[in-house]
Amino acid sequence: MARPWKHPKTGIYWLRRGVPAELRDAVGKREEKASLKTRDPAEAKRLHAIAMVALEERWANLRTPARRFANGELHDIAVLTYKACLREGNTPGIDWEVGLADDLWTDTYESVLSLDTDLIRRGVGKQYHRLWCKQRADEYLVSVGISPDDEDRLKVAKAIGLGAHKAITALQRQAKGDFRADAFLAGENVAHGSTPASSAKVVTFKSLLDGWAAEKSPASKTLYSWEKVLDQLCGFVGHDDAGRLTPEDLLKWKAALLEQGLRTKTIRDSKIAPLRAVLQWGVLNRKLPSNPASQIQIDVRGKMTDGIRGFTEEEAVLILQHAAKEIDPVRRWIPLLCAYSGARLSEVCQLRKRDVFEHEGIWCIAFVPEAGSLKNVNSERVVPLHPAVLDAGFQEFVSSSKAGPLFSMLGADRFGNRGGTGTKVISRWVRAIGIADERISPSHSWRHRFKTLGRRHGLMTDIVNAMTGHHRKSVADAYGEFPMAALHRELRKIPDPLAQVVAKIHSRQGAIIESND
C-alpha cells in the first residue's frame, strides 16, 4: 500500500508493502509489514514516509550483488554501536577487558554461532564476546538488506565489537565523574588504513535539509519554517555540523525553549519533529551514523483552553451580519463561504472565477491545486454551494468578476499564496467585531462549527468528511463516489442562522401586534 493501513480492530496504523517477486526468496515472505505504533493519521503519514524510505533502501541493497565495505562505512557502524550502548548504559554481561586481539576472531564464523550461548556465557568470555558481536552484525546486515561475503561480515562484527568496547570504556570514565568527549568520536580508526572521522567532510544541517526537500518536495511555507528551526538550533549549539550534534545538546535546547515560555506542543511539533525528520533522512541516506533526536521526547498535556473551538450560534450570526453589510469582497464573501462549506480559509482565498460552476443543476465550487497550494491529496474536491450563499448574491458577484482570482485584491504572501494575506485580514476584522476568545481561530473555527452542525442536523459523516476534505476513515469509505446531488441534499440540512434570526424577529413582532389587538 502506498499509504498507511489502519488496523480495523486496534486503529493502529501499519506499513504494508508487497515484496517484489524477484526479492521474495531473499526477504523470505510475500509482504513486508511493520507497525507505525500510532493512531494519529497525520503522524502515521510521517512515519510511513520514513519507513518506506528505509524499506526501499533495504530492497535496493538486496538487488545489489555482494559488495565490500569501505573503511568509512565500518567506522559509521562502530560509532552507531558506541552511541547505542551509551544510551542503554551497558552491554549484556561481556568482559570487554579481553580487548580485540587477533586471536579473538580465529574461529570460523559458523563455528562460533553453533556454540551454546549459555555455556559460553558461563565459561568462555572471548567466545561469548565474538558470538554477541556476530549476532549483532547479522541483525544489522538484515536490517539494511546487505549480503556481504564472510570476510566483510567479519569486519562488521569487529566494528561492532570496537564500538561496544569504546562505549564501556566511556561509561567507566563517566562512573568516575569524567564526562569529557571520547576521542573515539573525534577520529579513532576502525581498522588499519581507515580514514579518521576528523578528516571527513562536515555534514551541515543545510545540506541535510536540502536533500530532504529535494526528495519530499514540501510546501514553500514548510521549508521556510523548518529552515528557521535549524538556524535557531545552529545558533544555540554554536556550529552547523550535524555530525557533532548529541542528544545532550538537544536536551539543553529543549530546556531553553521551555524557559522561553514555548508551549510543549509547539516544541514537539514545530521544533523537535522537523529536526528529527531531517536528521532521520541523513541516517537513511548514510550521511549520519545515527539520529540524536530519535529519543528526545516532551510530555504534551492538553488543556481545555488549548484547543480551538467552533463559533457559537451567537458568534456566527454576529460575524455574518457584519459580513452582509461589507462592501469589500474579502470580508463580504469569505466568511460566508467558510461558514457553509467547512473549507479552509486559505482554500477560499485562492478561488478563481472558473472554480465556480454549475454541475447537474447544482452550483458548486472546486478546490484544485491549479488555483494554489492545498494541504493534502484529500483537499482536492468539489462541494455544492449552500442556498444561503446563493441567496446572498454570490453567483452575481462571480458573474461580474474578471477571469482569474475572485479575490485578486489580496496580495500574495512571501510563499505566493493569497491564503496567508487573507488569514491576517479576516483575523483582524473578526477581532475588531468583538470576538476576543483566544480559543477562537478566525480562520479555522468555521471548520469546527461545520462539523458540529453536521452532527446536530444529522448529516452523513462520510459526506461531511468529503466536503471538508478530511481523510477517509476506513477502506469502506474509499469505495464508490460522492454524487453532487447527495452532497447537496445533506448540505441543505444546515439552516441559515440569519434567516432564523429574521424569522424569530418577525414571530416576536407578530406576537406583540396580537397582544396589542
**Per-residue model confidence as pLDDT tens digits over 267-289:** 888 999 999 999 999 988 888 88
CB 153 within 8 A of CB 137: yes
Query: Does pTM top 0.95 for this prediction?
Result: no
Backbone angles phi, psi at 272, to 5 degrees: -70, -45
Q: How far apart are CA 282 and CA 285, in angstroms?
A: 5
Q: What is the DSSP letter of 494?
A: S
* Torsion angle, alpha carbons of 264, 269, 271, 277, to 10: 140
332 band by pLDDT with thresholds 50, 70 and 90: very high
Strand partners, 365: 356, 383
Residue 327's Cα: distance from chain center in Å?
A: 41
Q: What is the pLDDT of residue 449?
A: 92
pLDDT in tens, 212-256: 988 888 877 888 889 999 988 988 888 888 988 988 889 889 888
Grid cell, residue 451, equals 462539523
Q: What is the pLDDT of residue 503?
A: 54
Q: Coil, strand or helix: which one is 55?
A: helix
Q: What is the pLDDT of residue 266?
A: 86
Grid cell, residue 83, equals 552511541
Mean predicted confidence (pLDDT) in 120-141: 66
Residue 359's Cα: distance from chain center in Å?
A: 36
Q: How far apart are CA 357 and CA 473, in angstroms?
A: 29
Grid cell, residue 145, equals 538488506
Q: What is the pLDDT of residue 99?
A: 39
- Residue type present at position 239: H
Rg over CA atoms, the chain: 30
Map 179-215 to HEC letters: CCCCHHHHHCCCCCCCCCHHHCCCCEHHHHHHHHHHH
Residues in Cβ contact with 490 at an 8 Å cutoff, skipping those fewer than 6 apart: 459, 460, 463, 464
Q: What is the pLDDT of residue 318?
A: 92
C-alpha dihedral sign at 264, 267, 272, 274? positive
Q: How far apart are CA 513 and CA 517, in angstroms?
A: 6
CB 204 within 8 A of CB 240: yes
Mean predicted confidence (pLDDT) in 293-313: 74
Q: What is the pLDDT of residue 472?
A: 66
45 band by pLDDT with thresholds 50, 70 and 90: confident
Grid cell, residue 124, equals 568462555
Q: What is the pLDDT of residue 492?
A: 92
The overall average pLDDT reported for the chain is: 78
Grid cell, residue 215, equals 526528495
Mean predicted confidence (pLDDT) in 288-294: 87
Q: Coil, strand or helix: which one is 22?
A: helix
Residue 330 neighbours by CB distance under 10 Å = 21
Above 90 in pLDDT, residue 354?
A: yes
Write the DSSP assignment of 233-288 as a string of letters. Answer: HHHHHT--BGGG--HHHHHHHHHHHHHTT--HHHIIIIIIHHHHHHHHHHHHTTS-
C-alpha dihedral sign at 369, 371, 372, 378? negative
The residue that leads in pLDDT, 423 or 131, is 423
Closest listed residue to residue 351, CA positions, set 310, 403, 299: 403
Beta-sheet pairing, 31-35 with 356-359:
unpaired
**Cα→Cα distances 36→6, 42, 128, Å:** 10, 12, 34
Mean predicted confidence (pLDDT) in 180-186: 61
pLDDT in tens, 486-496: 999 999 999 88
Closest listed residue to residue 165, CA positions, set 120, 132, 194, 214: 132
pLDDT in tens, 356-415: 999 989 999 999 888 888 877 778 899 999 999 999 999 999 999 999 999 989 888 777
* Torsion angle, alpha carbons of 461, 466, 471, 475, to 10: 70
Grid cell, residue 291, equals 539520529
The percent of residues in the chain predicted with pLDDT above 90, rounded, is 25
Above 90 in pLDDT, residue 87?
A: no
Q: What is the pLDDT of residue 405?
A: 92
Q: How far apart are CA 339 and CA 346, in angstroms?
A: 14
Mean predicted confidence (pLDDT) in 43-66: 73
CB 143 within 8 A of CB 58: yes
Strands (E) across 328-384 are located at 356-359, 362-367, 381-384
Q: What is the pLDDT of residue 41?
A: 87
Q: What is the pLDDT of residue 201?
A: 67
CB 77 within 8 A of CB 105: no
Above 90 in pLDDT, residue 262?
A: no
CB 36 within 8 A of CB 25: no
Q: What is the pLDDT of residue 516?
A: 53
User: Which of 68-72, 114-118, 416-420, 481-485 shows the lowest per-residue confidence on average (mean pLDDT)?
Assistant: 114-118
The residue that leads in pLDDT, 494 or 166, is 494
- Residue type present at position 318: L
Q: How far apart are CA 302 and CA 369, in angstroms?
A: 34
Q: How far apart are CA 272 and CA 245, in angstroms?
A: 13
- The strands making up 356-359's β-sheet, listed across from edge to edge, are 356-359, 362-367, 381-384
Which of 54-63, 291-300, 345-354, 467-476 is modeled with the greatest confidence? Answer: 345-354
Which residue reads 479576516 in cell numbers? 426
Grid cell, residue 501, equals 434570526
**Cα→Cα distances 323→365, 384, 399, 426, Å:** 20, 21, 20, 11
pLDDT in tens, 426-483: 999 999 999 888 888 888 898 999 999 999 999 988 889 889 988 766 655 666 678 9
Q: How far apart are CA 23 and CA 8, in angstroms?
A: 29
The residue that leads in pLDDT, 457 or 185, is 457
Backbone angles phi, psi at 277, to 5 degrees: -65, -45
Q: What is the pLDDT of residue 98?
A: 41
Grid cell, residue 206, equals 543545510
Residue 56's Cα: distance from chain center in Å?
A: 19
